Structure 1
Amino acid sequence: MKKIIHRGNTRGFADHGWLQSFHTFSFAGYYDPERLHFGALRVLNDDTVKGGMGFGAHPHDNMEIVSIPLEGALEHKDNTGRHKIINQHDVQIMSAGSGIQHSEFNASRTEPVKFLQIWLFPKKKDIAPRYDQRAFDPASRQNQLQTVVSPDGQDGALTINQDAWFSLAAFDKDRSVRYTPKINGNGAYLFVLKGKVEAGGEVLENRDALGVSDYDELNITALEDAEFLLIDVPMLQ
């Protein structure tokens, strides 16, 4: 098993006043040649946006973009005329494909919104842009992995243009899971949202992350009540 640890306090950080953004991987003004990506996982931003503020219309292409609100709600608009509200417990995915423009604003005028924005390199380039979102019952991730994104969209998951799976979990103290890669050769990236876990022999706390590759099995145990995101992702060269 190969391991890489990204502690929460080693991430890049940008404070724009209206936006506080932590960058696990190199992004915008934060650059670390050792933290360009983990396989197909290119961006994992942990953002807080003040009420009434947000990202104006901007373009993307050939990137799979997943947004997960942790608190509050996001307002999405794009150049196809789509206008959606993405609430806590929703997951949104956008295949930018051949090109799309969108904006993301805090849906509240007064309360902050906290969300993860995650980018993956696509499996196929220049596809027609695609958008989807879905609400996921948090009770269905209690002491088990709840798959919210997958290549085929089975079992109610959102479909992604990559051989990748996203799973959310909320584990009680001392509960554990043994995880095996969905595809031989895929890696796993574990991001702790809350609490403390032990995984791969490492202790991870709030906003710490562990990436593993060349592995057969990853044991994850909650050392206290914990919530985490697990991304099963191809290991690109």
Structure 2
Amino acid sequence: MTNTATDLRLRVRPSHQRGHVDAGWLKTAHSFSFASYFDRNNMNFHNLRVMNDDWIDPAAGFPMHPHENFEIFSYMLEGALAHEDTMGNGSTVHKGGIQFMSTGSGVQHSEFNPSSTEKTHILQIWLIPDRKNTTPRYEMMDLGDAERDGKLQLFLSHDGRNGSIRTEAAADVYSGKLNGADTISFELNDERAVYVHVARGEVQINGETLSEGDAIDAEGQGQLLLNNGKDAEVIVFHLSPRH
């Protein structure tokens, strides 16, 4: 733990401490207890329940399977992901895109890498909703480079503001890119917490150097300062009080 003069409590989560699983067609790193990786002391952080870093082989993927009462999105880093579900949706999302499902009362879906030659790299993320058994929803959006260079783009929020996707979770989720002299600050001034995952590159957060796959969580009050980025891409979660 690192404490600042502003009572901001930080914890670095190194990439190598994640649960690493090789299923042949799927290579993944679990930031939280999931599937064959179990850690009763690392089930979630506030209402962030799943952060899976997945590499999917060409023409491979997840066959139709059910979900309920989770807010699930795929954050595309490389390649493409083809989606079908029992709501009648069929679509393909590419690098720089977001694929979101509010699973509510229940839905089934499949996800496959449609390429016969290229791997797909995604972050699959689950949030715990505040309301259960709502009507399932599916949405997609593309993240913009201009909206993220040296700043944060809100793409998922509890109220759907500023063109973001609305989620049933008490959470706001941002994507940002930093390089060179770029600086991003984020203020914590209430009971909510922040979790930052480094999707690519390298960045300093309050003086801690983090690389791809590393994360940091923050509770208390004070300012998170992100700077000294080297082709860095980060996802910033502003989460509900302890869930």
What TM-score do you get using the length of structure 2 for normalisation? 0.93
In the TM superposition, what is the alpha-carbon distance from 1:3 to its structure 2 partner? 2.0
Q: Distance in 2 between matches of 1:229 and 1:221?
A: 14
Q: Distance in 2 between matches of 1:80 and 1:230?
A: 29
Q: Distance in 1 between matches of 2:90 and 2:164?
A: 21
- Which residue of the partner structure matches residue 125 of structure 1? 132
Q: Count residues in correspondence.
A: 236
Q: Distance in 2 between matches of 1:33 and 1:5?
A: 19
1:189 and 2:195 correspond: yes
Give the conservation status (yes or no) of the 8 Å contact 1:38–1:235.
no
Q: What pairs with 1:164-179 in structure 2 (closer than 5 Å)?
A: 164-179=171-186
1:48 and 2:61 correspond: no
- Which residue of the partner structure matches residue 162 of structure 1? 169
Q: Distance in 2 between matches of 1:209 and 1:118?
A: 14
Give the conservation status (yes or no) of the 8 Å contact 1:176–1:220.
yes
- Which residue of the partner structure matches residue 234 of structure 1? 240
Of 116-125 and 132-141, more deviation after overlay is shown by 132-141
Q: Distance in 2 between matches of 1:81 and 1:231?
A: 30
- Which residue of the partner structure matches residue 230 of structure 2? 224
Deviation track 1:11-53 (CA, whole Å, cap 9, x = no partner) reads 1011111000110000001012221101000000000101110
- Which residue of the partner structure matches residue 98 of structure 2? 91
Give the conservation status (yes or no) of the 8 Å contact 1:170–1:225.
yes
The unaligned stretches of length 5 or more in structure 1 are none
Give the conservation status (yes or no) of the 8 Å contact 1:173–1:226.
no
Q: Distance in 1 between matches of 2:234 and 2:178?
A: 8
Give the conservation status (yes or no) of the 8 Å contact 1:21–1:46.
yes
Letter in 2 for 1:9: H
Deviation track 1:142-177 (CA, whole Å, cap 9, x = no partner) reads 011111111122222111112211111111123212
In the TM superposition, what is the alpha-carbon distance from 1:89 to its structure 2 partner? 1.4
Letter in 2 for 1:87: H
Give the conservation status (yes or no) of the 8 Å contact 1:174–1:224.
no
Aligned with 2:20 (options 10, 13, 38): 13
Letter in 1 for 2:187: T
* Alpha-carbon RMSD: 1.4
Give the conservation status (yes or no) of the 8 Å contact 1:179–1:217.
yes
Deviation track 1:59-109 (CA, whole Å, cap 9, x = no partner) reads 111000011110011000111221111111111110110111111001212
Of 81-90 and 97-106, more deviation after overlay is shown by 81-90
Give the 3 Å change call, closer, same or farther, for CA 59–202 of structure 1 in structure 2.
same
- Which residue of the partner structure matches residue 156 of structure 2? 149
Give the conservation status (yes or no) of the 8 Å contact 1:90–1:133.
yes
Report runs of 4+ in structure 1 exceeding 3 Å deviation: none
- Which residue of the partner structure matches residue 74 of structure 1? 81
- Which residue of the partner structure matches residue 38 of structure 2? 31
Q: Distance in 1 between matches of 2:201 and 2:96?
A: 18
Q: Distance in 2 between matches of 1:23 and 1:235?
A: 23
Q: Distance in 2 between matches of 1:4 and 1:97?
A: 32
Q: Distance in 2 between matches of 1:154 and 1:233?
A: 16
Q: Distance in 2 between matches of 1:127 and 1:84?
A: 23
